[in-house]
Chains A and B, each alone.
Chain A
Amino acid sequence: MVDERVRPGVVSTWRSPLVGIALVVVVAAGVVAVGLLLAAGAALFVSGLGS
């Protein structure tokens, strides 16, 4: 399916890929941070059950 609003040549500067990659890194960092929080929460929950 052709997205008629996308025009060739939109990505023309070197900044665009870097911004795009930076955003993906931010998303990945967010995913990892949520994972870390849930891991910490589960560890706390279990230690709470044990005490």
Chain B
Amino acid sequence: MQFRPDADDLGVIGFYLGKIATGVALMMALPVGLAAALGEWDSATALAAGAGVAVAFGQLTEWRLQSRTELTWAHGTVVVALAWLLGSFLAAVPFFLSGHMASFLDAWFEAMSGLTTSGLSVIEDLDHLSYSMRFYRQLTQFVGGQGVVIVMLALFAAGRGTGTLYVAEGREERLVPNVARTARFIFRIALVYLVVGTAALTMALWVAGIGGWRGLWHALGLFFAGFDTGGFAPMSQSIGYYHSMSVEAVVSVLMVAGSLSFALHYFLWSGRHKELFRNLEMRTLAVTMLGATALAMYGLASIGAYTDTAGLFRKGFFTLLSAHSGTGYGVSSGTLFVTDWGALAPAAIVVVMAFGGMAGSTTGGIKAIRLGVTFKGIVEDIRRILLPESALVVTRYHSGRTHILRTPELGAATTIVLVYFLTYLAGAAVALAYGEWEITEALFESVSAAANVGLSVGLVSPDMPALLELTYIVQMWAGRLEFIAVFALVGYAIALVRGRA
């Protein structure tokens, strides 16, 4: 029996939620300057109103619930789970006020999709949304990709116990011993990539015929959602809008960079280059990417969807890379996946969407470390059966350092793998209950939502059923947090009602 949380517990949770609300307010305030510069006063008002609501909530909460209580693990995980719900709810206000959303639920969906770097969208008439509001939409992916809590830790001084927030948000490696310094280092990696990536995209767009400040605006938007594997694009046709090999090339590099963990970036930046070849996750990704590409290319070619190298590469391979990196950028309409792409290529896309990239990156899905560890565990079991009973079987793997595979790690990895699969199936079941879609479409969309990818075969739209929309919101939220914080929140809620006083 758990203890019932008391007023101090709830106070410290509320206090940190207030801090996060203030951080979300800052995210909304940034594009106000752009809106003012462009004379987009309606958008400026909507963004300022959203920021006002968030800062009022944040300051009021911090003032009323000032707390010196140290965060425990339970507090930290509950704060993170609630922070993503609260943050997306507050971030939805400007979208709702933009006039491009049919309901507040749609606005919440868009904000959750943005912050969780999913990239599924229900916005109406995106191409005519103001420049500043589209910039804000892209910015949600950058902030969410880095981690709402990480951003807060990087901006404001981290207090005692805030390491729990860091871990609960799905980041396991502290690159340097201090959490605040780690958060700032992660931000530093992103900022260096921001400069280099935006410069490269600006040049690519200039080659494609989009120059001047519009080129820079597109470049920033594409960088935010590319490096953070988000998938929102400034235009409704996504990357297909640009019809440019140079843009696709730079975006491909950004998607790969985004699917690598910040720990790996750190190792590469600090001279440990061999990590690229020794890392279990890199090896796992090499195998899954190679296998899925071979399947998809064969599938597309054999049914005649694309018969030349250019079509197969620019449409098929780009989509597969976008899916595996969890980005969700597209170069062709998603409905083609079910109408023109046969069975094999969409199946390969669903599988790599479900897998995702590296743990501790901005991608979603199961993650390569869990797949690699599960595979190693299976191999160890087979060896145990084949070797004499007295043999000592030890399995090692490399991820930053050499680890010995132990039963608790293996159990944790396989549990999360199982939960992801159950979530994929549950989302598909909700869609199937409406009787409008085939199982392939329902599964595709469910995996895309829960693995925070963003590719769509058309189920996600402004007129989708409310229950299905809510299901995808929960999937995006739980998938981004890799379930543990969500389970902790449920346990905390139960303890509030049934816990021992």
Q: Number of A-B pairs whose CB atoms are under 8 Å?
A: 111
Within 8 A of A (CB), among B241-280: 249, 252-253, 256-257, 260, 265-266, 268-271, 273, 276
Q: How many B residues are at the interface, by size bracket?
A: 35 or more
Could you tell me the distance between the alpha carbons of A14 and B192 in the complex, rounded to whole angstroms? 10
Instruction: Type the 1/0 row for B360-371, where 1 means its CB is closer than 8 Å to any CB of A.
Output: 000000000000
Give the chain B neighbours of A36 by CB distance below 8 A.
309, 313, 317
CB distance from A39 to the nearest CB of B (A): 4
Could you tell me the distance between the alpha carbons of A39 and B290 in the complex, rounded to whole angstroms? 12
Q: In the complex, are the beta carbons of B265 and A2 less than 8 A apart?
A: no
Q: In the complex, are the beta carbons of B321 and A10 less than 8 A apart?
A: no
Give the chain A neighbours of B252 by CB distance below 8 A.
28, 31-32
Give the chain B neighbours of A42 by CB distance below 8 A.
297-298, 300-302, 312
Give the chain B neighbours of A51 by CB distance below 8 A.
none
CB distance from A37 to the nearest CB of B (A): 9
Q: In the complex, are the beta carbons of A17 and B173 less than 8 A apart?
A: no
Could you tell me the distance between the alpha carbons of A29 and B176 in the complex, rounded to whole angstroms? 30
Give the chain A neighbours of B181 by CB distance below 8 A.
8
Could you tell me the distance between the alpha carbons of A28 and B252 in the complex, rounded to whole angstroms? 7
Q: In the complex, are the beta carbons of B177 and A1 less than 8 A apart?
A: no
CB distance from A15 to the nearest CB of B (A): 10
Q: A8-B178, A16-B271, A35-B321 are in contact. Are A43 and B249 (CB under 8 A)?
A: no
Question: Which of A23, A32, A41 contacts B276, CB < 8 Å?
Answer: A23
**Chain B residues in contact with chain A, CB under 8 A?**
172-178, 181, 185, 189, 192-193, 196, 249, 252-253, 256-257, 260, 265-266, 268-271, 273, 276, 289-290, 293-294, 297-298, 300-302, 304, 307-309, 312-313, 316-317, 320-321, 400-401
**Chain A residues in contact with chain B, CB under 8 A?**
1-3, 5-8, 10-11, 16-17, 19-21, 23-25, 27-29, 31-32, 34-36, 38-43, 45-47
Q: Which 5 A-B pairs have the closest CB atoms?
A: A20-B268, A42-B297, A39-B312, A35-B317, A28-B256
